[in-house]
A and B are shown apart, each in its own frame.
Chain A
Amino acid sequence: RKEVEQDPGPFNVPEGATVAFNCTYSNSASQSFFWYRQDCRKEPKLLMSVYSSGNEDGRFTAQLNRASQYISLLIRDSKLSDSATYLCVVRYQKVTFGTGTKLQVIP
Chain B
Amino acid sequence: DAGVIQSPRHEVTEMGQEVTLRCKPISGHDYLFWYRQTMMRGLELLIYFNNNVPIDDSGMPEDRFSAKMPNASFSTLKIQPSEPRDSAVYFCASSLGGLAGGSYEQYFGPGTRLTVT
Residues of A within 8 A of B (CB): 32, 34, 42-46, 49, 87, 91, 93-100
Nearest chain B residue, comparing its CB with the CB of A42: B110
Contact A91 B108 (CB under 8 A): no
Contact B104 A94 (CB under 8 A): no
Residues of B within 8 A of A (CB): 35, 41-45, 48, 56, 91, 99, 104-106, 108-111
Contact B109 A43 (CB under 8 A): yes
Known: A43-B109, A94-B56. A99 touches B42 (CB 8 A): yes
Known: A43-B108, A44-B106. 18 other contacts (CB 8 A): A43-B91, A43-B109, A43-B111, A44-B91, A44-B108, A46-B105, A49-B104, A87-B42, A87-B43, A91-B99, A93-B99, A94-B48, A94-B56, A94-B99, A95-B106, A97-B35, A99-B42, A100-B42
| Residues of the B chain whose Cβ atoms lie less than 8 Å from the Cβ of A95 | 45, 106
| Residues of the B chain whose Cβ atoms lie less than 8 Å from the Cβ of A94 | 45, 48, 56, 99
What is the minimal beta-carbon distance from A102 to any residue of chain B, in angstroms? 11
Complex Cα–Cα for A45 and B75 (A): 21
| Residues of the B chain whose Cβ atoms lie less than 8 Å from the Cβ of A91 | 99, 104
